[in-house]
Chains A and B, each alone.
Chain A
Amino acid sequence: MNGRAMQREGSAFSGLGVVMLKELSDHLTSVRMRVLEWLVVLVALAALYGAIQQIKDTTAEDPFLFLRLFTTSRDPLPSFVAFLSFLVPLMAIGLGFDSVNGEHNRRTLSRILSQPIYRDALLFGKFLAGLMTLSISLVTLWLLVIGLGLLLIGIPPGGEEIARSFVFLLVTIVYAGVWLALALLFSIVFRSAATAALVTLGLWLLVTFIWPVLAGAFAQMIIPPDPRYMALGLQTPGTAELEQILARLSPSTLYAEVVVALLDPTTRALGPIYLSQLQGAVLGAPLPLGASVLIAWPQIVGMVATAIVLFVIGYVIFQRQEVRA
C-alpha cells in the first residue's frame, strides 16, 4: 500500500493522442498557421531565387553545388538558411504563445482537466502537436527547395548532399522545438496571451540579435585583450574563447554553428583553432558527413537539452498551477 500510495493511478499519457490530434487539427486549420506558412513559402522562394541566380552567375566546379542552394545569398536578400533561422522561431512562437493561457482564458481548462486525464497528457499533447505542425511545414519546405533546385539547376544532387540537407532539416526541427518549448513555458507563466507573446518575442530578439554583441563586450570586460596580440592584429585566445562560450548560451548561435558544419563540408572546427592543430590537414578538403555531424554534435545535444529543460520547467509550473480562473 505504501508503495502504491506514492504512485499515481493509471497512465500519465491516457488521452495524449486525443489531445494531440485535436491540437494538430486546430493548428492546421487555423488562419494563423496559414499566414505563417505563406510567409515562409514566399520568403523561401525569394531566397532560393536569389541563390539560383548567384549560382548561375558564378558557376564553378563545386562538388556540393546543391548545398549552395541553402547557403548562397545575393544582395539584398539573405540566404535561405538565414531566412529560416529567422522565421522558424517566429513560427514556433506563433504556434505556442497562447496554448495554455488560451485554455485558461476560454475557461475550458478546468472542464478538460475534470475528464479522466492527467495534466501531463494535455501539456505533452500540445507540445507534440506544435512540433508536428512545424515538422510538416518544414518537410514541405525542404521538399519544395529540393524540387525547385532540381528544376532550376538541372543537376541531380548526390546522396551525400541529400543526407546533409536531411540532417539539416532534422536539426531545424529541433531548433523549432526549442522555441516552441519556450513559447509554451511563457504561455503557462503568463495568464495573458499578449504578454506571453511579447515576452517570448523579446527574449528571442535578445538572444538572437543582441546577445552575440553583448557576449563580445562581456568577454572583453572579464578577460581584457592582451596588448601583445592586439599589436599583431590578432584576437587574444582567452578573450575569444570566452566570447564563444558566452555566445553559445544562445540557441541561435548553436543553430548557426550546426548549419555551417552541415552545409559547408569543408568546415573543420567551430571555434578558434591553433596552428598546431592544422598540421597535416588538407585545407579546403571536404569532410565526410559523419565527421561533420561529429563536429556539430555538442551543439545539437545542447539544443535538444535546452528544449527539454524549458519543457520541464513549464511542466513543473503547470503541475503546481491552480486551475481556477
Chain B
Amino acid sequence: MSQDAVIEANGLTKNYGSTVAVDHISFTVGRGEIFGLLGPNGAGKTTTILMLLGLTDISEGEVSVLGFNPAREPLSVKRRVGYLPDTVGFYDNLTAADNLRYTARLIGFRFAEREKRIAEALERVGLSDSAEKRVDTFSRGMRQRLGLAEILMKGAQIAILDEPTSGLDPHATTELLGIIRGFKAEGVSVLLSSHLLERVQSVCDRVALFSAGRIALMGSVPDLGRQILGGGYVVDIEADGAGLAERLALIPGVSGVEKTGIGKLRLSADRDVRPEAAAEVVAMHGRLKFLGVQEPSLEAIYTRYFEAKSEETVNERARDAA
C-alpha cells in the first residue's frame, strides 16, 4: 500500500489559535484511487486539503504528496496536483478558453501545447461549444466542469476536489461524477470532499468520515457497513405463498425474517441469500415479484455511528456525574 500511495498523511494537525481545526489525522490515498473525505461542514475537510496543497501552514504532523513535502516543495506539489476549490471562481470578463490560457501560462506551457491541451480538456468536459463564451454566462454546473477541465489540462496526477457536487442539480451531478470516474480510468488519483454522503458513495473506493477535526471512520463503504451496521446482508423479497416466511427462515445463514408489508418480507443474513430465497419461492410455486439486496448506505452508517457516539458520551457524562 505505502509503495503505491500518492498521498500519505501522518498525524496531520492544524490549530487556529487555541481551536483545533484538524486533529492528528492519518490517511493514505493509493494510486488511481477515489478517496472521499466526508463529513459535515466545518469538520476540517477543506483545511486538510489546503494543507496537502501547501496553501496553509501545517501545525503538526507530516504529509507527503507524490513524495514531496507541500510545506517545503510547494511548487513541485502544485505542478502535479490539480485543485478544484469549493465554489470555484473564474474571471467573468474572460472567456472559458482565456481563463484556461491564463492558468496554462502560469503553469508554463508553451503556446502550441497550451492550445492543444485546452482544446482537449474542454472537449472532455463537454464545453467545446462554449470555449469562446464569457464565463459570466456560465451556470454553476458549467463552472464546475470548467474547473475539472483545468485539472485535465494541467495533466495532474492527483485531482483534489472540494465539494464538487454541492449546489448542482441531479443531472449536472451525474455528469460531474462521470467525469470524476474518467479520472480514475486514466490512473489519476482523486481526493474529494463532500457533505452529501449519498451522492459520493457511488464513486468512492474508500472514504474517511470526518467529525470535529478527526477521522471517525475510514475504509470502503461495504466494510464500514459491516463494521457499524452489525454486519450481514439485508434481502428484501416480495412474493406470495403461505408459510413462505417459515421456509425462508430455514435457509442456512438467515438470522431473521421480518414482515414489512403484505407479501413483503425482509431477511437478515450473513451472506447474500438471494439465490436460495428465489429457489424457495419457486419450489412453493409462489410468484416472485421482487428480490433485492440492500447496499449499506453511508447515510445509515454515519447516522448509526454518531448515534452510538452520542449515547456513549451521554453515558460517560452520567458516569462522571455519579
Instruction: Enumerate chain A interface residues (CB-CB to B < 8 A).
Output: 5, 8-10, 14-15, 18-19, 22, 26, 106-108, 110-118, 322-325
Contacts and interface: CB of A to CB of B under 8 A. Distances in A.
Contacts of B79: 116
B89 A9 contact: no
Given A15-B106, A18-B102, A114-B81, 14 more contacts: A9-B72, A10-B75, A106-B91, A107-B88, A108-B91, A110-B85, A114-B53, A114-B85, A115-B107, A116-B76, A116-B106, A116-B107, A322-B50, A324-B47
B60 interface: no
A9 B77 CA distance: 11
Interface of B: 46-47, 50, 53, 55-56, 72-76, 78-79, 81-93, 102-103, 105-108, 147, 150
Contacts of A117: 75, 78, 106
Nearest to A15: B106
A323 B56 contact: yes
**For chain B, what secondary structure do more than half of its interface residues adopt (helix, strand, loop), or is it mixed?**
mixed
A9 B73 contact: yes
Contacts of B74: 8-9, 116, 118
A102 to B, nearest CB: 10
Contact of B83 (A9, A108, A111, A324): A111
A34 to B, nearest CB: 14
Between B83, B106, B150, the greatest number of chain A beta carbons within 10 A of the residue's beta carbon is seen for: B106
Contacts of A22: 102, 105
Contacts of A323: 50, 55-56
Contact of B75 (A9, A112, A324, A325): A9
Contacts of A18: 102, 105-106
Given A26-B93, A324-B50, A107 B106 contact: no
Contacts of A9: 72-76
Given A9-B72, A110-B85, A323-B55, A115 B90 contact: no
A106 B107 CA distance: 21
Contacts of B47: 324
Contacts of B92: 106
Between A26, A108, A110, the greatest number of chain B beta carbons within 10 A of the residue's beta carbon is seen for: A110
Contacts of B93: 26
A14 B72 contact: no
A108 B79 CA distance: 18
B222 to A, nearest CB: 33
B49 to A, nearest CB: 9
B27 to A, nearest CB: 20
Contacts of B102: 18, 22
25 contacts: A5-B72, A8-B74, A15-B105, A15-B106, A18-B102, A18-B106, A19-B106, A22-B105, A106-B91, A106-B92, A107-B85, A107-B88, A107-B89, A108-B89, A108-B90, A110-B83, A111-B89, A111-B147, A114-B53, A114-B81, A115-B103, A116-B107, A324-B46, A324-B47, A324-B56
Nearest to A6: B72
A116 to B, nearest CB: 4
A319 to B, nearest CB: 10
A260 B221 CA distance: 77
Given A9-B76, A116-B78, A110 B55 contact: yes
A18 to B, nearest CB: 4
A239 B89 CA distance: 56
A107 B162 CA distance: 13
A111 B91 contact: no
B188 to A, nearest CB: 16
Between B50, B85, B88, the greatest number of chain A beta carbons within 10 A of the residue's beta carbon is seen for: B85
A322 B106 contact: no
Between A8, A114, A116, A323, the greatest number of chain B beta carbons within 10 A of the residue's beta carbon is seen for: A114
